[in-house]
Structure 1
């Protein structure tokens, strides 16, 4: 029963609502992170874990296994519109998800809402808030907070800028 509760807590935590994350300081070289650091096309190359075993993470963004996101392409336009495309493998179907995203420079977070056909971003109340750990011209690191046991842990998403 305890194991089911731990797994449920991890799954629920990965569905972070926009207002559920605390602030964290920037890990890049002291430069202030801003929207322009994030705009562009990114490839999610690697997912690592801090404080939680990978085997305990069953899904990411209430979508699919975190493994399905490796190799995904994220398109983040300056207007806030965007999408991510899961590449598709034997175990993971290819899928494109529209999103509306923003960056909070105050608490250095990256937020996004999933948009289904016909949705307007202003009417979608749930989304995800990730810590914007690092962003430069070629690399982006986001940390998704999750609860594991009685402490916080992170799913760390490592992106590289996609070739033009």
Structure 2
């Protein structure tokens, strides 16, 4: 009887140890977004569309056209300060915009506010929120949800990491 209790106790201990060492998974199938996932220098190489025709998108992120962002470079520092630089194109003039960015891990979103001369991020109440679709060491995909014909469509931004 004593040996049986010892075997059961060892078995239960082994189960507890194995359970505590097993990898954690989420039921939604997504991983929590972290600041480190997007920290760094990025170039926006492609803008695509899900559930909406390209011609239906007039302006984007406060610019005249989504085309302004193709080829833009984004600098996202660990402090939350950052900027994006739009290249000179047929659609837009070259410019650099200061931003303050953050991640919402619970929602899996990347959010940023545009900062103008003299602005403090805490005083700026308007901004943009994009869903973090995927991120690797060298690629980042953000989706901007928009309402189109009563359903949610997405403008998809694909970035590649650049060295500075």
| TM-score tier after normalising by the smaller chain length | 0.7 to 0.9
Aligned to 2:55, the other structure's residue is in SS state helix
Alpha-carbon offset, residue 84 of structure 1: 0.4
- 2:68 aligns to what? 68
Q: How far apart in 2 are the matches of 1:32 and 1:127?
A: 22
Give the distance between the partners of 1:159 and 1:124, measured in 2 at CA.
26
Question: Secondary structure at 2:107's aligned position in 1?
Answer: coil
Counterparts in 2 of 1:66-145, with a 5 A limit? 66-145=66-145
Q: What residue is the counterpart of 1:9 in the other structure?
A: none
SS of residue in 2 equivalent to 1:91: coil
Larger radius of gyration: 2
Q: Which runs of 5+ in 2 are unaligned?
A: 1-27
Structure 2 partner of 1:163: 163
Q: 1:90 offset after TM fit, Å?
A: 3.2
TM (norm. structure 1) is 0.80
Equivalent residues in 2 for 1:16-35, closer than 5 Å: 31-35=31-35
Q: Residue 43 of structure 2 corresponds to which residue in structure 1?
A: 43
**Distance in 1 of aligned mates of 2:60 and 2:78:** 25
Comparing both structures, which one devotes a greater share of its residues to helix?
A: 2
Match of 2:150?
150
Deviation per residue, 1:23-58 (Å, 9 max, x gap): xx67xxx54321001000000000000001000101
Superposed CA RMSD in Å reads 1.2
Deviation at 1:64, TM superposition (A): 2.3
TM-score by length of 2: 0.80
CA contact (8 A) 2:58 2:65 kept: yes
Q: Deviations over 1:55-99 (max 9, x none)?
A: 010111111210110000000000000000001113310011000
How far off its partner does 1:136 sit? 1.3
CA distance in structure 1 between the partners assigned to 2:128 and 2:68 by the alignment:
18
Consecutive unaligned residues of structure 1, counting only runs of 5 or more, are 1-24
